[in-house]
Structure 1
Amino acid sequence: MPPAKERTPELRRHILDTAIDVLASEGVAAVTTRKIAGLAGTSPPAIYELFGHKAGLIRELFFEGFRRLNAAFERLGTSGDAVADLAATVHAFRTFASDNPNLFNVMYNRPFDGFEPDGAKRSVGDGTRRFLVDRVGHCVQAGVMAGDPIDIAHALLGLAIGLATQENAGWLGSTAESRDRRWTLAVDAFIRGFAPAR
């Protein structure tokens, strides 16, 4: 760890890692520049110099969430069954949201005042959207779903965000069995709803 006054890439990464740890363990309200600086062994001015302002630090948390979700998607293989692969992608999204509820909240629910991603910032999520569009596209190519893969992927992402938000808030069911059942019902019904007309 470099001395606190040296504004190095290593210090920047250390501050970001500290903010991620605080977000994960204590939630959104605990992410303050003073607290992060103290735990990182530096000062609030260092955060301002390295990130621009608090919103710059939040932006990096936002980016980090999508980097981690992209990495989770990239670890998924293919099975030759397009529907199973799409369901596995939704499952990976659910697992990420469940394992990282506060980071997921930063990515999709905008809990911080003063941070509203513009088009350039939202583009960080393009990798996850492209992955989902590709998985839906495979289902369309296989003839098990019909429609525009981009439209379908956006709708499926909206469904997954809603279910994950409900689950993280404790609204989706009081048992693991009921939560699993509701995810399965929703995703299966969604996929069946885009089956080609006979």
Structure 2
Amino acid sequence: MPRAKLRTPELRDRVLHAAVTMLAEEGVVGFTARKVATAASTSVPAVYELFGDKAGLVREVYFEGFRHLGRALAATGRTDDPRADLTGLLAAFRIFVREHPVLADVMFSRPFADFDPGPAELRATASVRTLITGHVQRCVDAGQLAGDPTDIAHVLLALAQGLAAQETAGWLGRSAATRDRRWSLAVRAAFAGLGPA
């Protein structure tokens, strides 16, 4: 009698953890279902049974990235200063990308040809967008920013993504002081441009 297959939630978590770790250590080029299966001490058929195919595994890595980012952003908390809180949120985004550049690449740059997030994936990442928009709304309500909170949130997230990509690629400056100065300059300029007339 064949042995029963054990596709447990624990195995699923182990495979997902192995996939995220492999991306961090080997990048997109070295990422294969076979290597992930070996790292998770399971088989390629088990990986495919759990995730469907490689694209399904990448899809779960994408979701895991947004869960991780959401936790990092939520941990920044709230004070009586909405602008300082929003600045802290952007700083937390920067730290996340610096610490997890390949994961951020999967989330924001689409490095895998066989995975292109559709409407369902974008809906699933809404908690991060909602959190950012909520911080922007507080700034609008306090008169610190002016305009549509959703539009402002998109602009600030695009700015943060661009700056983080430049920093990760080594183009934002050679020293930490230079990178910090340029990051702060861009955020201050954005807030000034988005402030009330």
Interval containing the TM-score (normalised by the shorter chain): over 0.9
Contact (CA 8 Å) 1:94, 1:164: kept in 2 or not?
A: yes
The equivalent of 2:58 in structure 1 is 58
Give ranges in structure 1 of 5+ residues lacking alignment: none
Partners of 1:96 and 1:192 in 2: how far apart? 25
TM-score, normalised with respect to structure 2: 0.96
Partners of 2:32 and 2:174 in 1: how far apart? 33
State the one-letter code of the partner of 1:192. Answer: A
Per-residue CA shift, 1:118-167, capped at 9, x if unaligned? 01011222111111111111111111111000000001111111111111
Contact (CA 8 Å) 1:146, 1:195: kept in 2 or not?
A: yes
* 2:181 matches 1:181: yes
Q: Secondary structure at the match of 1:30?
A: coil
Contact (CA 8 Å) 1:172, 1:182: kept in 2 or not?
A: yes
State the one-letter code of the partner of 2:136. Answer: V
Residue identity (%): 52
State the one-letter code of the partner of 1:98. Answer: R
CA distance 1:4–1:110, shift in 2 (3 Å)? farther
The equivalent of 1:159 in structure 2 is 159
Q: Matched residue pairs, number?
A: 195
Partners of 2:126 and 2:31 in 1: how far apart? 26
Partners of 1:35 and 1:7 in 2: how far apart? 18
CA RMSD in angstroms comes to 1.3
The equivalent of 2:74 in structure 1 is 74
Q: CA deviation at 1:82?
A: 1.1
Between 1:108-117 and 1:22-31, the stretch displaced more is: 22-31
* 2:128 matches 1:139: no
Partners of 2:145 and 2:12 in 1: how far apart? 45
Q: Secondary structure at the match of 1:23?
A: helix
Q: CA deviation at 1:5?
A: 4.3
Contact (CA 8 Å) 1:4, 1:11: kept in 2 or not?
A: no
